[in-house]
Chain A
Amino acid sequence: MFRTAVRNVLAHKARLLMTVLAVMLGVAFVSGTLVFTSTLSDAQQKSSQKGFAGVDVAVQPHRSDAADAKPGAAPKLSRALLDQAGRVPGAAGATGTVEGFTAIADKSGKLVGNGFSSRGRNYFPGPDGKDARFPMTSGTAPKGAGQVALDSGTAEKTGYKVGDTVRLSVDGPVREAKVSGVFTTEDGAVAAGGSLALFDTATAQQLFHMPGGFSEIDVKAAPGTSQDALKSAVDKVLPDTAEAVTGKKLADDQAEMIAKSMDSMKTGLLVFAGIALFVGIFIIANTFTMLVAQRTKELALMRAVGASRRQVTRSVLIEAFVVGAVAAVTGLLAGIGIGAGLRALTGALGTVPDGPLVVAPSTVVASLVVGIVVTVLAAWLPGRRAAKIPPVAAMNSVHAAATTKSLVVRNAIGAVLAAAGIACVLGATAVGSDQGKALMSLGAGLLLIGVFVLTPLLSRPLIAAAAPVLRAFGISGKLARQNAVRNPRRTAATASALMIGLTLVTGLTVIAGSVQKGVDKMATDALKADYVVGMANRGPLSPDVAKTLAADPEVTASSPLRNAPARIGGETEYLTGVDGKAIGELTNLKFTAGSFDGLGDPKANRAVVDSGTAKQHGWQVGSSFATTFEDGKKGRLTVSGIYEGNEMLRGIMLDTSVLAPHQKHPTDMQVMVKTKDGATDAAKDSLVETLGKNPAITVQDKKDVSEDIARMINLMLNMLYGLLAMAVIVAVLGVVNTLAMSVFERQQEIGMLRAIGLDRAGIKRMVRLESLVIALFGGVLGIGLGVFFGWAAGELIGASLDTYELVLPWGRMGIFLALAAVVGMLAALWPARRAAKLNMLAAIKAE
């Protein structure tokens, strides 16, 4: 049996090539994902381990949740503690770290890097006067407030050299410093393309609001002292507000975190690989069904000469196994290539540390198993069908007519599934929010399967609808339409492959577009301010910025959004300090009770809260509540208004003057600004000028805000499109496969058509139009389903995003349909050529 199966594989090389390709693409995606993620996490782990190499025990501030503790940020670690920790038995010295956001401007004044990995820290010289973590390649370590050292990557990118003056900013105001030196570092974030600026310890402590203190103390062990022994020694000298961790644990935690973040990425990518494989299943099943149909006589002969049903099934499955194995191996190799390619790509973008390509044994096993199992599973049904061929079929001289078994049972099942699916989805939209999600997923799954099952039924009316267009192509169009509905099962399987991809693409596009519109509307509707000023890294902003802006004669109203931790009813909550007098002019909040009136009165201790918070605490206008400010002092606030919060503005708002006495280093999240002339380029330039062309600060008008959102959503969509392209490519293979089979089966007809006078162009047109019709059928189904899912998911999202509204991206949907048409045309290229080149005489010869 095995020999027969292998012979069959070899006899149908071209036919099986498509199947191999389809499986191979899926497997390549799987193994590529696995190789890429394991390579990446290996590199990151190694780099993070290097970063912890010099740390034996780290002392970190420990936030106390005791009720009498001050709310908010953890306390700093003192210099005294550092000295103490460095002197415990077994310690060889201690290093203190202070760090924070530091934006560096390049020579044209623009921010270096993306803002999120722009950091600064202190240079902590050891007994020898050098900091071993940051060896200087040129110049000297920074000394005093006017000096800074840059990492070599940043120095290279910007062209700064020792002695140059650099503009930088930590929390808002621009500072200038002279480059004292350039250093190299093993720091992971820097290896990944971030920038790092070094100050001397006193300057760093000043800049990062930790005068005389540190955010971390690293203790080095003396030779012969283990990390654990050192940790217990250090533990003895620590106050409640600090804790000691061994370097090994830090490295392990980091490794675990990296693995976790890699896991979610891996899962995401594998989902798309799964989709590609799922689509591949249709093609494999299709191929084997047709191979079995073509071999009816041969298989019947085997049955006639004594092969059992099981042997026949097995021969088909062995054939599938061989195909799957070949596909899995080539797919694995291609996947390793893809992994290496992705690695090189991300490497070139400079966002990951270097490292060797990692092909884990589990990757190899997973790829092979997936490829083989998928293929054998997909061939299962055709294999069983092969076994049902009666031995007498071998005697029939008439070649097997396409069996048009009744679709009644299939249609009934499909209708039930689809109806149940629609009911679930509609039910979910009615229920809304969290409970709805599970119901919605269930419904979507049922509907999708239901439509799959119903596709043969749907093919007739939908393809008939294309008849008027096809009529324009004369007899070729007529024949194409009839050929497309001739074998509804096959047409359905082919179209389904395309349908899945387009359902996902359309659904995601509808959701993304609608969310974007909703978020956009929320962002712009809630604001009356012309500009929002913030830090490039969305980090804290110095209150000086708000002051500077308030003093600008162009500015008619401005208010900071100042963050202040507080303890209310035993929970830490964040208060938002605003300019109580100006805030009414800058926002557009709907009040359900009360208003902003009187919020600006510093003596009144008033606050406005969003309806959610009010409900949670049972507050009404006039209620007053106790709060513990961040300096530990207690106070009472009175609710003077309740507004409807949104994603941008929510929580407890009060005048900054109420907060001022309790804040030593106040910081703002954003400053909202209204200018005399409204949002114009000139006004924006003037604001940027006022702020000293600061690299760390962004000035955004409403359009910038919505463009920011749009960019983010588009980036995500484009990534998804790229991944789903896989499913589409597999679908193309499916259409090619189906057409090639159809052409093969209809050789005689095509030969006759040629004989009685249809020219080659006409034959080609016939095959192409059939392909086009099938592809568009899949496209229409997919886009229709996608819109439905998009709408349904939107109903759920709408429950938590008030401004959500359904946006149908007609333009993009048109593009998707055109894409389906292109798929059809491309897929038909080869089969159409083959059909046109068919040897007429061979084709019309009676068998």
Chain B
Amino acid sequence: MTTTHTGVPTATRATVAARATDLTKVYGQGETQVVALDQVSVEFRQAEFTAIMGPSGSGKSTLMHCMAGLDAVSRGSALIGDTELNGLKDKHLTRLRRDKIGFIFQAFNLLPTLTALENITLPMDIAGRKPDREWLDRVVQTVGLSGRLKHRPSQLSGGQQQRVAVARALASRPEIIFADEPTGNLDSRSGAEVLGFLRNSVRELGQTVVMVTHDPVAAAYADRVVFLADGRIVDDMRDPTADRVLERMKGFDARGRVS
């Protein structure tokens, strides 16, 4: 299953969906200059569920934005598949996001005027592509939205809305999905559901998912946790559990949040 999706590059690269090399992001200039990312190098492997953790201001969101082509890179390299993002024009970045990246946001970010199904197929509509019916059905079934496709977001619960967002990210079979605090606005039950779907999509559909979170329970769903502090990667944990993650996070708190 892991090699079924389209556009998979050469065999040697097949295991890496996205890679950052010496990625640096600087905001502001001169006196007010803030280094958000300081020469970060990290790889996100295919069909793997990676969580990025770190205290506030550690640079975890910035890393995701830079890797997802939402924010410009100051120095270094950010690759999606074998496409270098640094130096790409807005037009190409937009196309790249449209064709190769899926997004899940904390605030659901569905269009209230569209039905659930229309929201799910929105990226394909933007690209002017016909959705793959079979795949779409499967995704919809996986997230358990079959009976609610005609509903508008305002008629859905928060959990259901986020499941629509997950389905939207999965529907166009992107090379990688970036999720920004996807459970931040959900109660714990709905949050667990959504995280379950994300893990299933990795396990069963071979999707690559990178999730930014500050919740150790959410991070425990991932295959791997990358810890950031002060713009640097400080730890990389395989097969995390909530307790281990919490323990690790406590270490940051003890050192304080200077940045």
Residues of chain B within 8 A (CB-CB) of A751 are 109
Main secondary structure of the interface of B (DSSP, over half): mixed
Check A748 against B107 for contact (C-beta < 8 Å): yes
How far is B116's CA from A405's CA once the two chains are assembled, in angstroms? 23
Residues of chain B within 8 A (CB-CB) of A749 are 109, 111-112
**In the complex where A749-B109, A757-B94, A757-B126 touch, is A846 in contact with B184 (Cβ < 8 A)?**
yes
B137 within 8 A of A: no
B39 within 8 A of A: no
Interface set, chain B 110-140, CB cutoff 8 A to A: 111-114, 122-123, 125-128
A693 within 8 A of B: no
Task: List, sorted by A's number, 9 A–B pairs whose CB atoms are closer than 8 Å.
Answer: A474-B126, A748-B107, A756-B97, A756-B103, A756-B123, A760-B90, A760-B91, A841-B70, A846-B181
Interface membership of chain A positions 341-371, coded 1 if the CB is closer than 8 angstroms to chain B and 0 otherwise:
0000000000000000000000000000000
Check B103 against A755 for contact (C-beta < 8 Å): yes
Interface membership of chain A positions 635-655, coded 1 if the CB is closer than 8 angstroms to chain B and 0 otherwise:
000000000000000000000
A479 within 8 A of B: yes
Q: How far is the CB of A175 from chain B (nearest CB, A)?
A: 81
**In the complex where A757-B123, A758-B126 touch, is A846 in contact with B65 (Cβ < 8 A)?**
no
B45 within 8 A of A: no
A752 within 8 A of B: yes
A846: contacting residue among B102, B103, B107, B113, CB under 8 A: B107
A844: contacting residue among B102, B105, B113, B123, CB under 8 A: B105
A483 within 8 A of B: yes
The 3 A-B pairs at the shortest CB distance, nearest first, are namely: A757-B98, A482-B113, A752-B109
A467 within 8 A of B: no
Name A836's closest neighbour in chain B (CB-CB).
B90
Interface set, chain A 460-503, CB cutoff 8 A to B: 474-475, 478-479, 482-483, 486
Check B114 against A756 for contact (C-beta < 8 Å): no
Residues of chain B within 8 A (CB-CB) of A841 are 65, 70-71
Residues of chain A within 8 A (CB-CB) of B114 are 482
Residues of chain B within 8 A (CB-CB) of A401 are 154
How far is B113's CA from A483's CA once the two chains are assembled, in angstroms? 7
A847 within 8 A of B: yes
Name B180's closest neighbour in chain A (CB-CB).
A844
A263 within 8 A of B: no
Residues of chain B within 8 A (CB-CB) of A482 are 113-114
- Interfacial residues, chain A to chain B (CB-CB below 8 A): 401, 474-475, 478-479, 482-483, 486, 748-749, 751-760, 762, 840-841, 844, 846-847
B95 within 8 A of A: yes
Check A757 against B107 for contact (C-beta < 8 Å): no
Main secondary structure of the interface of A (DSSP, over half): helix
Name A762's closest neighbour in chain B (CB-CB).
B126
B190 within 8 A of A: no
Other than A751-B109, A759-B90, A846-B107, give 16 A-B pairs with Cβ distance below 8 A: A478-B125, A482-B113, A486-B113, A748-B109, A752-B103, A752-B109, A756-B102, A756-B103, A756-B122, A756-B123, A759-B91, A762-B126, A844-B105, A844-B109, A846-B105, A846-B106
Name A397's closest neighbour in chain B (CB-CB).
B185
Check A754 against B107 for contact (C-beta < 8 Å): no
How far is B126's CA from A755's CA once the two chains are assembled, in angstroms? 12
Name A475's closest neighbour in chain B (CB-CB).
B125
Interface set, chain B 167-207, CB cutoff 8 A to A: 168, 180-181, 184-185
Check B123 against A752 for contact (C-beta < 8 Å): no
Residues of chain B within 8 A (CB-CB) of A479 are 111, 113
Check B126 against A756 for contact (C-beta < 8 Å): yes
Name B109's closest neighbour in chain A (CB-CB).
A752
Residues of chain A within 8 A (CB-CB) of B90 are 759-760
Residues of chain B within 8 A (CB-CB) of A847 are 107
Residues of chain A within 8 A (CB-CB) of B128 are 474-475
How far is B180's CA from A448's CA once the two chains are assembled, in angstroms? 51
Check B123 against A474 for contact (C-beta < 8 Å): no
Name A844's closest neighbour in chain B (CB-CB).
B105
How far is B125's CA from A756's CA once the two chains are assembled, in angstroms? 11
How far is B71's CA from A462's CA once the two chains are assembled, in angstroms? 41
Residues of chain A within 8 A (CB-CB) of B154 are 401
Q: How far is the CB of B244 from chain A (nearest CB, A)?
A: 28
A757: contacting residue among B99, B109, B111, CB under 8 A: B99
How far is B96's CA from A759's CA once the two chains are assembled, in angstroms? 11
Residues of chain A within 8 A (CB-CB) of B123 are 756-757
Residues of chain A within 8 A (CB-CB) of B185 are 846
How far is B68's CA from A841's CA once the two chains are assembled, in angstroms? 11
Q: How far is the CB of A744 from chain B (nearest CB, A)?
A: 16
Residues of chain B within 8 A (CB-CB) of A748 are 107, 109
Check B94 against A754 for contact (C-beta < 8 Å): yes
Q: How far is the CB of B178 from chain A (nearest CB, A)?
A: 9
Name A751's closest neighbour in chain B (CB-CB).
B109
Check A759 against B109 for contact (C-beta < 8 Å): no
Q: How far is the CB of B23 from chain A (nearest CB, A)?
A: 16
Interface set, chain B 62-85, CB cutoff 8 A to A: 65, 68, 70-71
Name A483's closest neighbour in chain B (CB-CB).
B113
**In the complex where A401-B154, A486-B113 touch, is A759 in contact with B105 (Cβ < 8 A)?**
no
Interface membership of chain B positions 133-165, coded 1 if the CB is closer than 8 angstroms to chain A and 0 otherwise:
000000000000000000000100000000000
A475: contacting residue among B109, B126, B181, CB under 8 A: B126
Name A763's closest neighbour in chain B (CB-CB).
B94
Residues of chain B within 8 A (CB-CB) of A759 are 90-91, 94-95
Q: How far is the CB of A758 from chain B (nearest CB, A)?
A: 5
Q: How far is the CB of A470 from chain B (nearest CB, A)?
A: 13
Residues of chain A within 8 A (CB-CB) of B102 are 756
Residues of chain B within 8 A (CB-CB) of A752 are 103, 105, 109, 111
Residues of chain A within 8 A (CB-CB) of B99 are 757
Query: Most chain-B Cβ atoms within 10 A of its Cβ — which of A486, A749, A755, A844?
Result: A755
Name A758's closest neighbour in chain B (CB-CB).
B126
Name A399's closest neighbour in chain B (CB-CB).
B107
Name A474's closest neighbour in chain B (CB-CB).
B128
Name B94's closest neighbour in chain A (CB-CB).
A759
Name B106's closest neighbour in chain A (CB-CB).
A846
Query: Most chain-B Cβ atoms within 10 A of its Cβ — which of A748, A751, A759, A841?
Result: A759
Query: Most chain-B Cβ atoms within 10 A of its Cβ — which of A401, A474, A752, A756?
Result: A756
Q: How far is the CB of B70 from chain A (nearest CB, A)?
A: 6
Interface set, chain B 23-43, CB cutoff 8 A to A: none
**In the complex where A760-B90, A762-B126, A846-B185 touch, is A755 in contact with B107 (Cβ < 8 A)?**
no
Name A847's closest neighbour in chain B (CB-CB).
B107
Name B168's closest neighbour in chain A (CB-CB).
A756
Q: How far is the CB of B104 from chain A (nearest CB, A)?
A: 10
Residues of chain A within 8 A (CB-CB) of B91 are 759-760
Check B106 against A755 for contact (C-beta < 8 Å): no
Residues of chain B within 8 A (CB-CB) of A754 are 94
Q: How far is the CB of A404 from chain B (nearest CB, A)?
A: 9
Name A843's closest neighbour in chain B (CB-CB).
B109
Residues of chain B within 8 A (CB-CB) of A757 are 94-95, 97-99, 123, 126-127
Q: How far is the CB of B163 from chain A (nearest CB, A)?
A: 16
Q: How far is the CB of A754 from chain B (nearest CB, A)?
A: 7
Interface membership of chain B positions 217-239, coded 1 if the CB is closer than 8 angstroms to chain A and 0 otherwise:
00000000000000000000000
Q: How far is the CB of B250 from chain A (nearest CB, A)?
A: 26
How far is B122's CA from A752's CA once the two chains are assembled, in angstroms? 11
How far is B91's CA from A294's CA once the two chains are assembled, in angstroms? 32
How far is B91's CA from A631's CA once the two chains are assembled, in angstroms? 94
How far is B105's CA from A758's CA once the two chains are assembled, in angstroms? 16
Residues of chain B within 8 A (CB-CB) of A486 are 112-113
**In the complex where A475-B125, A475-B126, A846-B185 touch, is A758 in contact with B107 (Cβ < 8 A)?**
no
How far is B115's CA from A478's CA once the two chains are assembled, in angstroms? 13
How far is B103's CA from A756's CA once the two chains are assembled, in angstroms? 7
How far is B127's CA from A755's CA once the two chains are assembled, in angstroms? 13
How far is B121's CA from A478's CA once the two chains are assembled, in angstroms? 13
Q: How far is the CB of A487 from chain B (nearest CB, A)?
A: 11
Q: How far is the CB of A779 from chain B (nearest CB, A)?
A: 23
Residues of chain B within 8 A (CB-CB) of A474 are 125-126, 128
Residues of chain A within 8 A (CB-CB) of B103 are 752, 755-756
Residues of chain A within 8 A (CB-CB) of B68 are 755
